[in-house]
């Protein structure tokens, strides 16, 4: 069957909100959370929706044995409390939670999906503007690039390495 990752493998996809449904992104996350070949999902979160489908998908992924990392920004004005609660929820589900980077505000919208394909490790990168927030997606005109381009995926992986080890500053 045709999956999001199959489509992204063949060609980059650029979602433009509000003209495309944000639920394509949530469907993609749900798809990878149950895909037996997906081994890891890393993501950033700034302002997430109340009762976030994204958080639910990540919890589902962790329950399905995937290694999941979520970088939550604690300096998201008006959303600090929500992000702390989401952090606690994710932590209880064995999701690695990183609460921001000291001295920096993490406002990037990134998602990195690692999948085993024919004995090879393939990475898919999602790079976007705006927030991974389904309730505000209709209001702003954000973009989300979904790509299997190894150069972009490598750069996104370096950003996540920095989130995990702030002393390790990558070259871009």
The catalytically annotated residue of 16, 24, 53, 107 is 107
- Choose between 77 and 129: higher pLDDT: 129
pTM of the model: 0.91
24 is annotated as an active-site residue? no
Distance CA 15, CA 71 (A): 22
Residue 88 pLDDT > 80: yes
Provide the pLDDT for residue 81: 74
Element (H, E) at 98: strand 96-99
Residues 4-38: tens digit of each pLDDT: 999 999 999 998 877 777 888 999 999 999 999 99
């Amino acid at each position: 069957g045709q999956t999001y990752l199959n489509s992204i493998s063949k060609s980059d996809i650029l979602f433009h909100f509000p003209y495309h449904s944000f639920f394509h992104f949530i469907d993609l996350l749900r798809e990878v959370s149950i895909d037996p070949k997906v081994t890891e999902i890393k993501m950033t979160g700034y302002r997430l929706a109340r009762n976030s489908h994204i958080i639910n998908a990540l919890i589902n992924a962790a329950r399905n044995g995937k290694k999941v990392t979520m970088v939550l920004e604690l300096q998201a004005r008006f959303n600090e409390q929500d992000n702390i609660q989401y952090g606690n929820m994710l932590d209880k589900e064995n999701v690695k939670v990183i609460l921001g980077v000291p001295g920096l505000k993490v406002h990037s919208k990134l998602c990195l999906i690692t999948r085993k394909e024919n004995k090879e490790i393939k990475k898919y990168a999602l790079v976007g503007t705006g927030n991974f927030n389904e309730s505000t997606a209709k209001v702003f005109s954000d973009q989300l690039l979904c790509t299997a381009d190894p150069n972009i995926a490598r750069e996104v992986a370096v950003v996540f390495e920095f989130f995990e080890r702030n002393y390790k500053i990558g070259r871009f």
